[in-house]
């Protein structure tokens, strides 16, 4: 007989994991993860996602990348990402954390300003397609929203500083890239209430682009 006051243990749950590369069509795969299968395979090969110990049922690098991409693309909780991937919330969190840290370690290799030749190539494409001479960069701001009020906000700020014109708590992210979706610079330092013009005027990349003088930057009226 169970002793009085002791909680009954829940039966073990074996989650139904799937191989998204096989289980989903190309269209379904890209709809879920925003990347095609070839790109996910390449990303899984670049990141160091092998577990040092093989205890239990370790996730493959592709499964970890898919969990993280599902979480990034959906804007939902780790519990939902885990449910979609057939794993527990804790396993989903561990995979998302591991993939995110590995991506951050590689940012310097993939996010950098273009060479003179790359700027020339971008300028030629834009002139041929849009009749815009000497444009080698594009800039825009992206509102990255929080699900609720942010926690552990920076010193010297208040919650209202994160409240933006779209009536959400967020940060204002500035991205500079080209017509082929290459990101040259990304700035995530500014709170949601900050205007695009202020972010740009205080960006180190502004001085870098203005220093070369030959190629122009395309942006909306906020810049």
Find the range with the poorest average confidence among 25-34, 74-83, 103-112, 145-154.
Answer: 74-83
For residues 172 and 166, give the distance between their C-alpha atoms in angstroms, rounded to a whole number. 11
Q: What is the pLDDT of residues 39-90, one digit of tens each?
A: 999 999 999 998 766 666 788 899 999 989 988 887 666 767 766 677 888 8
Q: Which of 135, 117, 118 is nearest to 126 (CA)?
A: 135
pLDDT: which is higher, 19 or 8: 19
**Edge-to-edge strands, sheet with 216-218:** 183-191, 170-177, 135-145, 216-218
- The b/e string for 120-138 (b: 16+ C-beta within 10 A; e otherwise) is eebbebbeeeeeeeebbbb
DSSP E strands, 161-215: 170-177, 183-191
pLDDT: which is higher, 9 or 48: 48
The confidence score (pLDDT) of residue 83 equals: 65
The confidence score (pLDDT) of residue 54 equals: 64
The confidence score (pLDDT) of residue 128 equals: 96
DSSP string, 56-99: S-PPPHHHHHHHHHHHHHHT--HHHHHHHHTS-HHHHHHHHHHH
State what percent of residues in the chain have pLDDT above 90.
53
Q: Which residue has the tokens 């700027």?
A: 119
Phi, psi of 13 (to 5 degrees): -110, 125
- Would the pLDDT of 219 be above 60? yes
Q: Which residue has the tokens 């993860």?
A: 33
Q: Which of 202, 177, 172 is nearest to 188 (CA)?
A: 172
Q: Which of 96, 95, 84 is nearest to 18 (CA)?
A: 84
């Amino acid at each position: 007989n169970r002793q009085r006051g002791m909680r009954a243990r829940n039966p073990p749950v074996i989650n139904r994991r799937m191989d998204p590369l096989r289980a989903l069509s190309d269209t379904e795969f890209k709809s879920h993860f925003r990347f095609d299968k070839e790109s996910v395979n390449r990303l899984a090969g670049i990141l160091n996602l092998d577990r040092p110990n093989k205890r239990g049922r370790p996730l493959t690098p592709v499964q970890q990348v898919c969990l993280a991409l599902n979480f990034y693309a959906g804007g939902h909780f780790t519990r939902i990402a885990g449910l979609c991937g057939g794993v527990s919330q804790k396993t989903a969190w561990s995979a998302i954390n591991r993939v995110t840290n590995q991506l951050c370690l590689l940012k310097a290799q993939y996010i950098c300003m273009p060479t003179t030749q790359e700027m020339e190539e971008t300028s030629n494409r834009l002139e041929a397609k849009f009749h815009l001479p000497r444009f080698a960069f594009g800039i825009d701001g992206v509102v990255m929203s929080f699900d609720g009020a942010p926690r552990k906000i920076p010193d010297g700020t208040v919650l209202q500083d994160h409240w933006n014109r779209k009536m959400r708590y967020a940060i204002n992210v500035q991205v500079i890239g080209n017509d082929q979706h290459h990101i040259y610079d990304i700035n995530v330092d500014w709170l949601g209430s900050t205007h695009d013009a202020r972010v740009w005027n205080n960006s180190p990349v502004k001085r870098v682009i203005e220093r070369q003088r030959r190629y122009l930057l395309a942006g909306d009226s906020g810049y």
